[in-house]
Amino acid sequence: MAYKIMIVDDEENVRNSLIRLLRREGFDLVTASSATEAMEILLEEPVDLIISDEKMPGMSGLEFLKLVRQRHPETMRFILTGHADPEFIIRAINEGEIYRFFTKPWDNEDMKSAIRSALNYLELIRENRRLHELVHRQEEELALLRKNP
């Protein structure tokens, strides 16, 4: 199963750069030129990871990723920005639970490594949830067996 990654940036050249980088890695890619367009896409198709620009018309990347966090908490979130303001980085991590922060231009190998790391973490989250559900079902079955031996 290919992981689905959404790229959200109002600059077509940035979207195209990320597409060229990630297509070779075998990811299923979805793009949006605004946060509003991205939210519409997310209503129809969930994604595993979102890479969003910070400065976009209409809604900032941080506001968008905060909404994503509320509606799709397991989706991994990266943010791109042209500046490395420490206060913004702290806000992004705290408010949007951003997994990774990148300044433009990014290092391609660092980006690919961070994506692999985020997707590995996502797999751990999913496996943990699956195991919790399994334990819960087994506890319910055990309780039934104890009631009706």
pLDDT band of 95, cuts 50, 70, 90? confident
Q: Mention every residue, 6+ apart, whose C-beta is less than 8 A from residue 140.
A: none
Asked whether residue 57 carries a pLDDT value surpassing 70, the answer given is yes
Q: What does the pLDDT look like over 6-29, one tens digit per residue?
A: 999 999 999 999 999 999 999 999
For residues 58-73, average pLDDT: 92
**Residue 67, CA distances (Å) to 105, 129, 145, 149 in order:** 26, 22, 43, 49
pLDDT band of 1, cuts 50, 70, 90? low
pTM of the model: 0.85
Q: What does the pLDDT look like over 100-147, one tens digit per residue?
A: 989 889 999 999 999 999 999 999 988 988 898 888 888 888 877 788
Per-domain residue ranges for the chain? 4-147
To which CATH superfamily is domain 4-147 assigned? Response regulator (3.40.50.2300)
